[in-house]
Structure 1
Amino acid sequence: MSTRLPAVTVVGSINLDIIATTDRLPTAGETVGGGVLQQQPGGKGANQAAAATRLGASARIVGAVGNDASGRLMVASLSGAGVDTTDVTVLDGDATGTALIVVDRDGENQIVVCPGANSGFSLGGVAFGPDETVLCQLEVDLPVVMEAARQASGFFVINAAPAMDLPAELLERCDLVIVNETEYELIPALAAAKLVAVTYGKDGSAMFEHGRRVAEAPASSVTVANTIGAGDAFCAALVLALRSGHDYSTALAVANAVGADAVGDASSQPALARLEEYVATVAAVEVAAL
């Protein structure tokens, strides 16, 4: 088993998150007052790249921002987290992507994404090495994800969110697909995929091979502050744990622990411990259970 974490290249979205925190989420046509407003770095791609570096991996991101103050802030934030931003394109004609988010007191959220520059970039000039793990999501245009799948020769992963129908060519190329339980139901073709990790919130996570449940791990109990970045932290941790040689059950347990830390942090790009610390904690729990 490798003690050195693999290099990860994230092809994905970079957003400014504008978050309103309220006691409860509004219903259709309703106005809810008393909210608290904040802005912070976000986007599924950026969140996953930042999580990977905080877990101790070498990570770069391929994406785009607008030539605006928000874009400069997002790139500076990623660089500050240790992410290689060399392949972030600055587009003059588009605004930086923005996510409008409402979060209630229990951490549940509603999100509207305005993609902006995330819809305007290509992979021209970007190369992937054979030892790189490539991690994509679906907040960028599908043709970009398809091109990444064709170019990448190493381990290729998609976090299939937001849910959409995926071309057969793409699913066949995926070494791993990561989704939550709702996305798993919305993408029937995943039942035939070679390897799919599914998260179930407080009920933990499971791994499926060609639709057969082959491993699972319970969730950690935690006080919820914000669920926005938890799934992204889970994705980064699961990929790193699997690529480090851990078995499915251990990798899921480690990713669950990382996701629990993320849920307890109000940031979309939360502070995290090194992956080996989560691995050690999981191992200690397993020993105690014997």
Structure 2
Amino acid sequence: MITVLGSYNRDIYIILDHFPLIGETVFVKEIRQYHGGKGSNQAVSARRLGSNVAFIGAVGDDQYGIEALDFWKNEGVIINKVKIKKGYPTGTAYILLNEKGESQIIVNRGANALLNVSDIANSLHGDILLTQLEINDDVVSYALKSFSGIKILNPAPASLSDFNILSYVDILTPNEIEIHELVQSDDIISGAQQLLNKIKRAVIITLGENGALIVLKDRSIRIEAPKVDVIDETGAGDVFNAALATYIEKGYNIEEATKLAVYIASYSVTIMGALGPKLEEVKPFLEEKGIDII
């Protein structure tokens, strides 16, 4: 089982022709709403790929929170450890999306900011822990120290206050921006090698349309991404992390799991929304690219 610890946000998409410059007013073409938050995105995306997934997070006692609980139940995610914070709003993300599929995101953390260590005590079970940094650092730190299986940390946003917790991480998955924020190095391989002084197994840097770079203690491996027509890149990193955790749990080695994660994340940007595809949806795409999956 994969346990995902993290955030839930109601994603409010604001569709524009272009992002406004400072002082510029632009008209909205359309507004859409989806379920989001890095933790929820990763949990649901992993579940859609066939994993058994438990989600640990917090929502408010408002309509968004009620709808989130119903959504997870319908997706088959285990949610008995989700906390409802009475009197507080559910997290909300405002996503500006331009005609190129590029996004800018503003987040009101809401109930996510209230998740505490006592909320997750005795809840950390499974084969893989997947977590991020949209919840409080002390909660993430406690989880990484307490969990006994494989631990994957997606350092997003890259606001790590205690670098010592990296020594409890098996796999770190920053993007290019995040690795530059974590280490003072212009070279991402050099930066990853610095992090490997603490990280147990690997640093996997996601590179968007350029795929991913796996940096191990003795070598690095480049995984190229397939060319696709981008519609919405929001959530591609979440889909990558979900697929990575899914296929590591299924017994794939780190290179095989990363390649699958890159291809599934690439497919995900061809559709709207921050959630990953179901296995039956993405399988023809993978087969077309010559990739067989269990």
Give TM-score, length-normalised by structure 1.
Answer: 0.89
The aligned residue for residue 17 of structure 1 is 11
Question: The residue matched to 1:179 in structure 2 has which SS?
Answer: coil
DSSP 3-state at the match of 2:174: strand
212, 233, 250: which one pairs with 1:244? 250
What SS class does the counterpart of residue 259 from structure 2 fall into?
helix
Hey, what does 1:205 align to over in structure 2? 212
Structure-2 separation of matches of 1:219 and 1:94: 41
In structure 2, distance between residues paired with 1:8 and 1:24: 38
1:127 matched to 2:123? The reply is yes
The 1:97/1:138 distance shift into structure 2, 3 A limit, reads same
Q: How much is the aligned-residue C-alpha RMSD, in angstroms?
A: 2.2
Stretches of structure 1 lacking an aligned partner (at least 5 in a row):
1-6
How do 1:45-194 and structure 2 match up within 5 A? 45-124=39-118, 125-129=121-125, 131-188=126-183, 190=192, 191-193=194-196, 194=199
Q: Give the whole-Å Cα distance in 2 for the aligned partners of 1:111 and 1:70.
A: 19
The change in CA–CA distance for 1:171 and 1:80 in structure 2 (over 3 A counts) is same
Number of equivalent positions:
278
Partner of 2:78, secondary structure, is coil
Give the drift of 1:79. Answer: 1.5
Long gaps (5+) in structure 2: 184-190
The CA deviation string for residues 209-249 of structure 1, in whole angstroms up to 9 with x for no partner, is 24x65212111111111111211010011122223232333
Q: Distance in 2 between matches of 1:52 and 1:162?
A: 20
**1:259 maps onto 2:259 in alignment:** no
Distance 1:94 1:88, change over 3 A: same
SS in 1 for 2:51: coil
Shift of 1:24: 1.1
In the alignment, is the contact (CA less than 8 A) between 2:2 and 2:129 conserved in 1?
A: yes
Deviates more, 1:120-129 or 1:97-106: 120-129
Distance 1:213 1:114, change over 3 A: farther
Over 3 Å counting, the alpha-carbon distance change for 1:92 and 1:219 in structure 2 is same
Identity of aligned residues (%): 31
- Within 1, Cα distance between the matches of 2:282 and 2:12? 33
Deviations 1:107-137 (A, max 9, x none): 10100111000010124343323x4211110
> CA offsets per residue over residues 184-224 of structure 1, 9 Å max, x none?
111117533231111111111011124x6521211111111
Secondary structure of the residue aligned to 2:290 is: helix
The 1:18–1:279 alpha-carbon spacing in structure 2 relative to 1, beyond 3 Å, is closer
Contact 1:254-1:282 at 8 Å conserved across structures: no
Segment of structure 1 superposing worse, 201-210 or 272-281: 272-281
Secondary structure at the residue paired with 2:124? coil
TM-score after normalising by structure 2: 0.88
